[in-house]
Structure 1
Amino acid sequence: MKRYKLIVFSILSLSISCVKKQSTVEVDEIKIKAPFEMPSIKIPDFSNCKKFLITDFGAEKGDKEATSFAIEAAITEANKNGGGIVVIPAGEWLTNKIHFKSNVNLHLNEGAILLFSENPQDYLPPVQTTWEGMECYNYSPLIYAFECKNIAITGKGTLQAKMDVWKEWFARPEPHLKSLKRLYYMSSSNKPVVDRQMVNDSAHFRPQFIQFNRSENILLDGISIVNSPFWTIHPYLSKNIVIRNLEVTAHGHNNDGVDPEMSQNILIENCVFDQGDDAIAIKSGRNQDAWRLNTPSKNIVMRNCTIKNGHQLLAIGSELSGGVENVIVENCTVLENAEMFNLVFVKTNERRGGYAKNIFVQNIKAGTLKKSVLGIETDVLYQWRNLVPTIEKRLTTIGDVYISDIKVDKAMYVSRIIGDEALPVNNVVLTNIAVDSLEVQKYNNENITNFTGN
């Protein structure tokens, strides 16, 4: 591991003279072996930085406004200091949104619970964010970083979302669907993002729990996360991210564990995921927005994780219009009672374009799968099929998928691959796949070239 120092200077005016105040945020470089060229990942190290205790800034248990103000003030002071650790002591602290600034580590002591308000008004004014691959202005994520560098959330405490209102917003009634249509058409016609204001009385676009937006050098280490209004951890247009030693439990609608989107150089390791949706769902934007931003998700490593529950161990798409490449998932365990459909599921449709390639999954143990070890489908549209038309047709190139050393108790198929007749899936290699009880048939594949099974 290579380490170097990032020196940040703050200049304070004292009478006529100026005094330089120096603070040090160290940056580690993590090197990872992968079956593709994997850059070193840079993450911040705050071990030499000053601590800022939120109670010194007026935080009070049970007082949401006082605690919210104290966290904001402590973050500001740590940032002004050139780098610092904002400390949440043991106990339950009710808060509203938290917005990061660069060179800040939010640290939760053991026994600390940051309990996030369920009141949507606490997540206003709207911020630049996304909804299912489309950029817009919406309620702030509960924890939000925009254009930040060297940030972290660490410790043995818990981040928890109160779900009273968000659970009511899981439904998709007609007013919500109308707002989806409106955003779809604005995105399809490249309307400026600032004009895509999606906060109104009926849209009910739930915020992500944690979103790192256009940020870099990010560390999440040791914390627990309980509940989430929407996607739980969402790196968006960000790079150099390490997520390790986390326990994530969220069983609401769209409660994926981690959703890297148009993000690069990511390590996810030694985590436990207990999700109501996919454990890891790699995305790269939807349709015209992603074609405009033109940023793939790539260089993503997931290893040594345990899945208690989740629809897929690894999902790719369906928002993959910017492309997904260079992904490896290895040495993971899916517990017997997990409600899992596929170990690996690549999903797309005629509107997406983009690509998925260089996908490696190896050394995985699982209990019962409702469907298959590998699933690929090219006509997945869910509620969008009849909601809006295809504005521009672009097929997705899918290929170079390598799955090896898999042990599963029960599944319907080893692989179920439904490629597009006009653009077949190409080059899928399955090696040493063991399914003790196969309920239907080994392979159910169509529109694929260069398929190798064991």
Structure 2
Amino acid sequence: WFKRPEAHLNALRQLYSMGSTDVPVEQRQMARGENHLRPHLIHFNRCKNILLENFHIRQSPFWTIHLYLCNSGVVRHLDVQAHGHNNDGIDLEMSRNFLIENCKFDQGDDAVVIKSGRNQDAWRLNTPSENIVVRDCDILNGHTLLGIGSEISGGVRNIYMTRCKAPQNVHRLFFLKTNHRRGGFIENIYLEDIEAGDMLRTFEVDTEVLYQWKDLVPTYETRITRIDGIHVKNIHCQSADAIYELKGDARLPIRNVFVENVKVDTVRQFINRLSNVENFQANEVSATILLHKEAPSIDLDKLYKQKAE
């Protein structure tokens, strides 16, 4: 499960092409030969009224907890530790009306992740992830505290995270990611009252995250993600390379982003960078120490490659 042989990558290419060309789902039989596509550890598919409470997880072959096309549930008092490839803590995909609280995540990838399907399959299902509250959770390690995307094609809205902590290190505290193949939308997202340690970025939006798919498979259809209404408030971090970096798409710029009371004690590279963003408002964003010249170089492409591998 922790290896990705050539047969595995070939199977990913094949499965991606099937989804992009509307091959019926029942014909996408991938458990063949040396494909070794990794399963999720806990997977709920089209379920209602879910309670996940008071258990520990140690390691997982792939995503740790996956809630897919589910409606209504509570996730509380979980202790999740998984450091393999793509070991997200919990992924809510095309799901709605959930509360996640008082959990501990120690991950090899993103901790709390909101997704809504990939490309043609998600456009067909047309089911956003929405109405999700995350509160009072601790993230010991992970790529992000809260990640949205990159599978975003069904849309994500009405997400609220508050009173969470990431005291050690994450790559990004809050990361919205998509690409020109996804479409969908991201709107009404709130992140507030967060305490954190070290990271690359406190808040980042990247509209061209393709990971290994950039070269593995072609673009079958271009659709740009609409991003509108992002709120970041009352954040304190010990150190970061940068406070925020927003990279919108010129064809559909990011709109209406509000950042308030964000303090990073030590910033190693820069405060902010914005491209293709309309109506960005920032108040009380500060860093007590700014060390441009002493900052190490960060190769984000290399980080993406490591995540893909």
* Same-fold status (TM-score > 0.5): yes
Among 2, 25, 28, the alignment partner of 1:193 is 25
Aligned CA RMSD, in angstroms, stands at 0.8
Aligned equivalent of 1:431: 260
Q: How does 1:267-306 map to 2 (within 5 A)?
A: 267-306=99-138
For residues 175-233 of structure 1, what are the alpha-carbon distances to aligned partners after superposition, in whole Å with 9 as ceiling and x for unaligned? Answer: 22211111111111211111000101222110000000001100011111111010001
The structure with the largest strand share of the pair is: 2
Q: Which has the higher contact order (CA 8 A, sep 6+)?
A: 2
Partner SS state of residue 38, structure 2: coil
Report the counterpart of residue 197 of structure 2 in structure 1: 367
Q: Secondary structure at the match of 2:93?
A: coil
> Which of 360, 382, 405 is matched with 2:211 structurally?
382
3-state SS of paired residue (1:248): strand
Q: Tell me what 1:410 maps to.
A: 239
Deviations 1:44-80 (A, max 9, x none): xxxxxxxxxxxxxxxxxxxxxxxxxxxxxxxxxxxxx
For residues 253 and 176 of structure 1, the distance between their equivalents in structure 2, rounded to whole angstroms, comes to: 13
1:384 to partner: Cα distance: 0.5
Are residue 351 (structure 1) and residue 166 (structure 2) matched?
A: no
- Counterpart of 2:270? 441
For the residue of structure 1 that corresponds to 2:88, the secondary structure is coil
TM-fit CA distance, 1:390: 0.4
Offset from partner CA, 1:265-307 (integer Å, 9 cap, x none): 0110000111111001111000000000000001110000011
1:174, distance to aligned residue in structure 2 (A): 2.5
Correspondence for 2:220 among 385, 391, 398: 391
- Is 1:333–2:165 an aligned residue pair? yes
Secondary structure (helix, strand or coil) at the match of 2:90 reads: coil
Residue in 2 that maps onto 1:205:
37
Question: Which structure has the larger Rg over C-alpha atoms?
Answer: 1
Structure 2 CA distance for aligned equivalents of residues 354 and 274 of structure 1 = 29
Q: Percent identity?
A: 51
CA displacement 1:359-397 (0-9 Å, x = unmatched):
00000000111x211110011101100111100100000
Could you tell me how far 1:411 is from its partner in structure 2? 0.8
Unaligned stretches of 5+ in structure 1? 1-165
What SS class does the counterpart of residue 433 from structure 1 fall into? Answer: strand
TM superposition outliers: structure 1 runs of 4+ over 2 Å = none
For residues 35 and 176 of structure 2, what CA distance do their matches in structure 1 show? 29
SS in 1 for 2:33: coil
Counterparts of 1:130-279 in structure 2, within 5 Å, are: 166-167=1-2, 169=3, 171=4, 173-279=5-111
The one-letter amino acid paired with 1:408 is C
**Matched letter for residue 89 of structure 2:** G
